[in-house]
Chain A
């Protein structure tokens, strides 16, 4: 325990902040899966893993993500007499959009209109008919496209997403509520209003890769722990940086720091693996691939996934799935020892893929200021949160090792 306390004291806020700053830097361009920046970040991380104590063999686990949304230019939206609108502040691409590189011009109607041909259809919030149905009708009747309503976040951004519905038959833009209402007023007022808009968004298959490394020598311990975090982000826009610092450079920094400490003070009787996952933002594709590989190999590690360690407000969210009771008990104990409060809350991340594969898995989330927007910067990440999460993860692994040891000792006595 003295060794453990000493190791906990060596958690380095500076090292983690440097990791976050590097991953959020311009060179890695928001780290979208399959992008040049994403690949460069992965290569840098492979080097970091290779430097861990014990010189672990880093495995690159390659897979393909089938259809990643990619903006080839900045979408545009304007209407007659309307204000100058800014992409991601005032409007964004909707993920169900068709690719529309060239601006399309047309009048505006509401969805109750009989004739949609050659018009943009302005869909009110809460309109009873589902978007997929509206898009099909728009395609059949030759509408220009759909304009739906969107909600800005607290920082005034419309967050970017890569995971969502498949592409539909017509262009779709999501417009911030105030401008959506303004356009509705203009369209029902005097004079003809015409909308001109483009949505240059194509879907491309891309190569992706997880990085997987055992700590120390590959082991045959009966109990294994997998520490993981996704390294990909949603990627920069053509003219806007989205650094993806909290989501999830912070999780990667925490896992790397925990791995460094555990390599220096290995838990007895417990194997530890690290996985830095790709393709989370497109639907947790990397963890789905990795979980299937583990199960096929007959391995059943307990999984600890960190997604978001940017700003701890009160208590870290914990979501569990699969046979995770030992993990939850160890986390609870570790939280008490490390002084980190925990609460049950959604962590919609890679942990769900491992749990769906039948593995005991917990996701831990401690804040993502600026989620999926240009405001997710390294400057907004709190060092104290990074330190708290690293201590929590390391202590949890040691608690699991203690429990494993106790179970073995008890088995020996019974035998």
Chain B
């Protein structure tokens, strides 16, 4: 009988680090929760998300490859 591995679960990697990253919006627009960013995670239409996030949040998002907010 072969050994069955326990299913992986919980936060990948160091949970403390994951908590920290999760709490900063995962590098996306979480820095601007009042900016009406919700529902615009996909840059399907060029510029459609402009005016959604702050320029800083948008730059952060693009730099991190998150592809959020236009």
User: Residues of A at under 8 Å CB distance from B?
Assistant: 92, 94-96, 125, 130-132, 148-153, 157-159, 161-166, 174, 280-284, 315, 317-321, 324-325, 328-329, 331-350, 352-353, 355-356, 362, 371-372
Contacts and interface: CB of A to CB of B under 8 A. Distances in A.
Interface string B1-28: 0000011111110010011111101111
Contact of B46 (A148, A315, A372): A148
B46 A125 contact: yes
Contact of B36 (A152, A284, A339): A284
A122 to B, nearest CB: 13
Contacts, number: 183
Contact of B66 (A334, A335, A343, A346): A346
Contact of A163 (B28, B36, B46, B61): B36
Contacts of B38: 163, 280, 283-284, 348-350, 352-353
Given A320-B22, A353-B38, A348 B29 contact: yes
A336 B44 contact: no
A344 B11 contact: yes
Given A132-B51, A319-B25, 12 more contacts: A96-B47, A148-B46, A150-B44, A174-B46, A284-B39, A318-B22, A321-B30, A328-B22, A341-B9, A342-B11, A348-B41, A353-B33
Contacts of B47: 94, 96, 131, 148, 174
B45 A159 contact: yes
A149 B26 contact: no
B68 A343 contact: no
Q: Is the interface of B mostly helix, strand, loop or mixed?
A: loop
14 contacts: A92-B44, A163-B52, A164-B48, A164-B70, A174-B47, A280-B38, A283-B39, A321-B23, A338-B9, A339-B7, A344-B11, A344-B26, A346-B28, A349-B38
Interface of B: 6-12, 15, 18-23, 25-30, 33-34, 36-52, 61, 66, 68-70
B48 A317 contact: no
A158 B19 CA distance: 34
A362 to B, nearest CB: 8
Given A344-B22, A353-B38, A356-B33, A161 B12 contact: no
Given A94-B47, A148-B47, A346-B68, A372 B11 contact: no
Nearest to A148: B46
A255 B7 CA distance: 23
A342 B45 contact: no
A95 B25 CA distance: 25
A336 B46 contact: no
A280 B48 contact: no
Nearest to B52: A164
Given A163-B38, A320-B23, A352 B12 contact: no
Contacts of A352: 25, 30, 33, 37-38
Contacts of A95: 45, 48
Contacts of A166: 51
A148 B36 CA distance: 23
Contacts of B27: 346
A283 B51 CA distance: 12
Contacts of B6: 339
Contact of B39 (A131, A331, A348, A362): A348
B11 A340 contact: no
From B12, B38, B46, name the one whose CB has the most chain A CB atoms within 10 angstroms: B38
Contact of B40 (A94, A161, A344): A161
A7 B2 CA distance: 29
A341 B12 contact: yes
Contacts of A150: 44-46
A350 B40 CA distance: 12
From B18, B34, B47, name the one whose CB has the most chain A CB atoms within 10 angstroms: B47
B9 A336 contact: yes
Nearest to B8: A341
A84 to B, nearest CB: 21
Nearest to A158: B44
